[in-house]
Structure 1
Amino acid sequence: MKRGLTHILGGVVLSGLLSSVSFASDFSQQTKQQTIAKLSSILVEEYVFEDIAKNVSAKLQSDFNAGKFSQYQNPESFAKALTKWLQIQAKDRHLRVRMNPNTDSKVGAKARLQQELLMPAPVGIGSQGVIEASMLEGNIGYLKLNGFHVLDDAKPYLDAALTLLSSSEALIIDVRKNGGGSPHTVQYLCSYFFADKLLLNSLYYREGDETQDFYVLSDVGGKKLTDIPLYILTSERTFSAAEEFSYNMRTRNRATLVGEYTGGAANPGDMFAINDVFSAFIATGTAINPVTKTNWETTGVEPHVKVDAEQALDKAVSLAKKQVAVRWQATKLQRQKDIQKLFTLLEKVSANLTYDDAQKQLYLTNLALLFKELKLDRFALTELALEVIEIQPSLAALLLEANAQQFPNSGFIYGYWAQALAQGGDKVAARKLLSMALTQVKDEYHKKHLKDELAKLAENASL
């Protein structure tokens, strides 16, 4: 259970839980001494690197005895001083000492719950960290995340955002103000951008000498975007799990990072009670990247393009537009070739309207391939068919049959197809087609259209 919350406790949730602090009036030398002794003990017992823990613990005791922290006369300044000292000595930016909430221990949970429910919700809580999903100029997608919330909660919001942005020519993911969260949610988001089952990251825990591996997931809730140009915006406030996301994508050469060095916190952990006044976040594990065999602890994740955080979005948009323009030229050349293939095929069909079933199937197969290559919508072949339905109904019927294969739930395509068959003199086939389509199509509006077409056929037959 603890390990499911490690990054969350280090980033997204903790600040909200401990926002109300106690300025203890009885803060004494004895409380300080007891705090140092207990903190030292917790470090030795729980910190991920036992040898570092022993050295840091011994130095902490020594520095305290030498009067290192004597000038800090209230809990708040003492906690800040201990945090700074620990992060420097252990080279671990997850380590910190916090003041406990100012509530009686017997009703602490109730008081915190009441406080949270009666305060306005922080930005992004309702949407599980998904702050914005929008299309920028140039068909560039923009996704802003301020946290990696628990996967079960965040998944539908991430899926919805990435479905919205799936038609983008390039995608920018903004984690400049992202304080971290769940490694499982990082794994899920990364999985949208890889086809192969790569090892993204591993978390080693001292307890049990256990390593947990995070691979690319085969399935996500939307379309995988394995080829989209990707840019990640970073800042010194990019922390913990948000750094893991950035580091994963950087080491796999899947994204261009734009902005500042990140915060440098790679070691997950848990909160431990010291006494009535203080608690400490202690790193119980560490991240191990499969490519670098190390992580971003203390150093932070280095961006490819270094600019001030405030300028990162503009810079990424500029880079994305250039890459989109280059990719479009290559796409345009290929589309010109595929368009010519399509027109050549139509000319071949027009010149051979007495083809047999085998030849018809070959035509349909080739049309389906070109349909996908050109990414045609449901209107493209329909318009081509309607232009020739009066003079070449057999060609129109073939085009509409190919279109129906791509959009089998469109009653209007079946309706036009039946019109082409009837125009060619095969009203029996037209009626059979419409009757079949009525069992296939789900939408009631489309069903009504098919019934109307059947009625027209019957009316024309009686004239």
Structure 2
Amino acid sequence: MRKIMQNAISPLSIIAALAAGTAFVATAARAAESGSACTTPAEDSADAAACKLAGMLERMFIYPETGARYAAVLREGVAQGRYVGPDREAAARAMTRDLQATSPDGHLRVFVPKEQPPAPAAQPRPDPAPDFPIIEQPGWIAPGIAYIRFNEFPYDPAVTQQANDFMAQHATARALIFDIRTHHGGGVEQMDAILPWLFAKPTRLLTMETSQATEDEFGSPVAGLASMRVIPDKTMARREHWVTPNDRTALRGAKVYLLTGPRTASAAEHFALAMKATHRATLVGEPTAGANHFGGQVDLPGGLVAFLPVGRTYDPATGKDWEGDGVAPDVAVPKEHALEWVLKDLGIDAAKARALSATHAPTLPMERRKRS
């Protein structure tokens, strides 16, 4: 979920994949043959990047058998020269294609970071400002009906305060609509500002886990958060996400709707599954992106960066997560018509609901992001 591996990581469950068989034996054999290619890669090259990433995936990926297959295909790519010659962008695309062809993952990718201008001497470089609005159109969309669109859950206390302020300013609402059709991820801080208004008793939401070895090396982005309860375990770093009600009771009986679609990803899917699993909201729209496995960015040689997934989030009642499949809506309608459906369900006449849906159409794409 968090975007930096320096601080990052969060939880996992080592359910060793049962798919070994001859395909994995063959992959392992090729890896052994090509392993020597990673002993002396050219320094600061794409091959060096592939070799470093192979080692990290082998040690830290959520499912060890899949991590070994990823490592094998990258080392094979080095041995066959697939990452030599192209520019950095082409090498990053080639590695990502190899990884996704081995086992699709909604987060795992290699890319070239955007260049940032140098910071003035002796001054820390600030995080780059997002090139899109984080929150859009918060307010009363109709009498008694509050609406807000989130495009991200950033690690930003100011946005967390905005989320809390929205809840306080609309504490008399009979219904709240959270539009996350263009929400591509982040952390849990804004969720932790919203959820205490909506629940009547302490409630377990979801479980997050990663290997203890990964957390020991990199730490956790949710360590220290009051909403994250540590579950002691010798091999796994596991935390349960809980909501504790605040003392404001007005919204506990309000109807809650989440608008979802194929661009709803990562932390937004965490929000969606938490609300669905606890039966506190109705999800309307299309299935979410299916990007469950979380982790953070790691710097690689050759000016490349990878997003390395190291953990997963899942429903503790079923043990299931949403990787690949997404979170299914309770009411399946085309994503473009999700808001219109909700407004009509709340008693707004069809013509007015259609007009309000048009004036509250997302400014960002609702389609799934395409990878090269």
TM-score by length of 1: 0.56
Could you say which residue in structure 1 is the equivalent of 2:48? 34
Q: 1:224: how far off?
A: 5.7
Partner of 2:299: 273
Residue in 1 that maps onto 2:281:
255
- In 2, Cα distance between equivalents of 1:231 and 1:110: 48
One of 111, 120, 141 as aligned partner of 1:98: 111
Paired amino acid for 1:229: K
Which residue of structure 1 lines up, in the alignment, with residue 102 of structure 2?
89
The residue identity in structure 2 corresponding to 1:309 is K
Does residue 296 (structure 1) correspond to residue 322 (structure 2)? The answer is: yes
Change (3 A) 1:303 1:88: farther
Aligned to 1:340: none
The alignment partner of 2:258 has SS state of strand
For residues 8 and 250 of structure 2, the distance between their equivalents in structure 1, rounded to whole angstroms, comes to 27
Two-structure CA RMSD over aligned residues (Å)? 3.3
- Per residue, is there more helix in 1 or in 2? 1
Tell me the amino acid that sits aligned with residue 136 of structure 2. I
State how far apart, in whole Å, the 1-side matches of 2:122 and 2:185 are. Answer: 26
Match of 2:361 in 1: none
TM-score (norm 2): 0.69
Q: Which of 144, 151, 163 is 1:146 aligned to? A: 151
Alignment of 1:294-333 (within 5 A): 294-321=320-347
1:214 paired to 2:244: no
Q: Does 1:227 align with 2:274?
A: no
- Indicate yes or no: 2:302 matched with 1:287: no
Question: Given residue 137 of structure 1, which amino acid in structure 2 is its aligned partner?
Answer: A
Distance in 1, Cα, partners of 2:187 & 2:338: 25
State the distance in 2 between where 1:152 and 1:197 align.
Answer: 24
2:174 aligned with 1:165: no
- What secondary structure, in the 3-state scheme, does the structure 1 residue paired with 2:326 have? coil
Residue segments in structure 2 that go unaligned for 5+ positions in a row: 11-41, 214-235, 349-372
SS of corresponding position for 1:226? helix
Higher strand proportion (structure 1 or 2):
2
> Could you tell me which residue of structure 2 aligns to residue 58 of structure 1?
72
CA distance in 2, matches of 1:86, 1:167: 49
CA positional deviation for 1:43 = 1.0
In structure 2, what residue type is equivalent to 1:62?
Answer: E
In 2 relative to 1, CA 80–89 (structure 1 residues): closer, same or farther, beyond 3 Å? same
Q: Which amino acid aligns with 2:72?
A: A
1:136 maps to 141
CA contact (8 A) 1:259 1:306 kept: yes
Aligned to 2:16: none
Identity of aligned residues (%): 24
**Match among 183, 187, 206 for residue 182 of structure 1:** 187
Matched, 1:78 2:96: no
Deviation string 1:415-455 (CA, Å, 9 cap, x unpaired) is xxxxxxxxxxxxxxxxxxxxxxxxxxxxxxxxxxxxxxxxx
- Counterpart of 2:131 (choices 122, 125, 130) is 122
- 1:123, 1:131 within 8 Å by CA — same for their partners in 2? no
Classify 1:4/1:319 alpha carbon distance in 2 versus 1 (closer, same or farther; 3 Å). farther
2:272 alignment partner, one of 229, 243, 246: 246
CA offsets 1:280-314 (integer angstroms, 9 cap, x no match) = 11012111212221211111111122233222211
Q: 1:215 to 1:255 in 2, by over 3 A?
A: same
Distance 1:112 1:82, change over 3 A: farther
Higher-Rg member (1/2): 1
Q: Secondary structure at the match of 1:285?
A: strand
Deviation, structure 1 residue 113: 7.1
Change (3 A) 1:109 1:80: farther
Residue 171 of structure 1, CA deviation: 1.4
Partner Cα distance (1:193, 1:88) in 2: 42
The one of 192, 201, 208 aligned to 1:203: 208
